[in-house]
Amino acid sequence: MSEASTLPRKIRCLQIITRSDWAGGQKVLYALVKGLNDRYKNEIEIEVACGKENGILIKELEDIGIKVHVVPDLVREISLAKDLKAYFELKKIIKQGNFNVVHLHSSKAGILGRIAAKKCMISNIIYTVHGWWSLEQYRGLKQSLLVFAERFAAKYCDKIVFLCQREKEKAKIWKIGNEKQYVVIPNAIIPIENLVRGQLRVELGIPKNVKIVGNVARLDPPKNPIRFLSIAKEVISKLNDVVFVWIGGSIVDDFYGQKVEEFLKINKELQDRVFFLPFRKDAVELMADFDIFLLTSDSEGMPLSVLEARSLRIPVVSTNVGCVSEIIEMVGKSDSDIVNLVEETLVDKDGLFASMIEQNYNAFIDQYFRLYKW
């Protein structure tokens, strides 16, 4: 008997996500895949299936040697024809790949992928919920239909992973899955090291004595850029040594881009005090110059940008959304609360660093690996 035949068989894991851009869910998937590949290379083989839109994730994964299956019909928008094609393509990839584990991310991939994996008799199917915006953005009949779809899909997986207790409680209220399926694994990020600060200040011509309050987020409804502008207007009316910077464009449509332009045209006093930059691959490097990270979202899971800000030792002020209140203290219940927190933090930023804790990236990887071996 050869030595190779006596070695334990590696776990074969397929990760599936709808879009291949570089937003929160994609960054989590990349961090997870890279960590598993680095720490458990002799015990697990990972491949990824995703849609073709944008494609930054695809390049990043291929650069670290991960095989990627591009599914052209796997798209965010609901389309019966494309969804059926995507389902059969996923089923084909799963069947041919001889996988032990299929791990789903994002709502569309989560529903199609769970059903496809179950039909292929995969023994371990895992679905990570990266926030409930896909349900919370709607009310009435549409939300009820989407909740029903999540309940239905929950029957096709073994474990449902939530980023915090608060997100798990929402699943209980909606009766999605059951306690035996529930697992809580907080997100973590690849440790940020050796960043050189000053790039954003040079690019925008911001002097060192001027504080920067910023956000890194898509210019989309759940991120509420108009709240960001309203808070900026209030703070700027009282303080002369502060500017506000938003980094990130829209991935759906440009509705909010137009709303931002209209707001700035009406409030001319914000000229040269508020900056909106498009999507930037080097957003973390730019974020390093923030004095405060300001999250103004209406809905979140566990935003990676908050974890990145904490890793850079930047104080975070946020709305009370998703898992944020479980990882930071400065959470405002109203816009006026947030304004006060921003103003107080600008005055006493350094005193807040002692309470910040580092996210344990290795623990994040280890928890998922144990789940795959389950």
Looking at residue 356, its pLDDT comes to 37
Looking at residue 188, its pLDDT comes to 87
Compute CA 367 distance to the chain's CA centroid, rounded to the nearest angstrom.
18
Residue numbers of the chain with a pLDDT score lower than 50: 1-4, 350-359
Closest by Cα among 174, 143, 129 to 323: 129
DSSP letter (8 states) at residue 255: H
Q: How many other CB atoms are found less than 10 A from the CB of residue 175?
A: 12
The two domains 8-188+361-373 and 199-355 share their CATH topology (first three levels equal): yes
User: Tell me: the pLDDT tens digits for 262-294?
Assistant: 999 999 999 899 999 998 989 999 999 999 999
Closest by Cα among 275, 331, 278 to 303: 331
Looking at residue 359, its pLDDT comes to 44
Looking at residue 148, its pLDDT comes to 95
Enter the tokens of residue 56.
Answer: 């930054």
Please check whether residue 11 is in contact with residue 43, taking contact to mean a CB–CB distance below 8 angstroms: yes
Please state the domain extents for the chain. Answer: 8-188+361-373, 199-355
Say whether domain 8-188+361-373 belongs to CATH 3.40.50.2000: yes
Which residues, listed in sequence order, are joined to residue 277 by a DSSP beta bridge?
247
Looking at residue 301, its pLDDT comes to 86
As a whole number of angstroms, the distance between CA 119 and CA 172 comes to 26
Enter the tokens of residue 300.
Answer: 């979140």
Looking at residue 145, its pLDDT comes to 93
Please tell me the total number of residues recorded for the chain in this structure. 374
Q: Map residue 317 onto helix, strand or coil.
A: strand
As a whole number of angstroms, the distance between CA 58 and CA 82 comes to 20
Enter the tokens of residue 157.
Answer: 């997986």
Burial class (CB in 10 A: 0-12, 13-18, 19+), 141: exposed
User: Tell me: the pLDDT tens digits for 209-234?
Assistant: 999 999 999 898 889 999 999 999 99
As a whole number of angstroms, the distance between CA 158 and CA 155 comes to 8
Helix (H), strand (E) at residue 331: strand 331-332
pTM reported for the whole predicted model: 0.78
Q: What is the CATH number of domain 199-355?
A: 3.40.50.2000
Closest by Cα among 293, 281, 280, 286 to 195: 286
Looking at residue 57, its pLDDT comes to 96
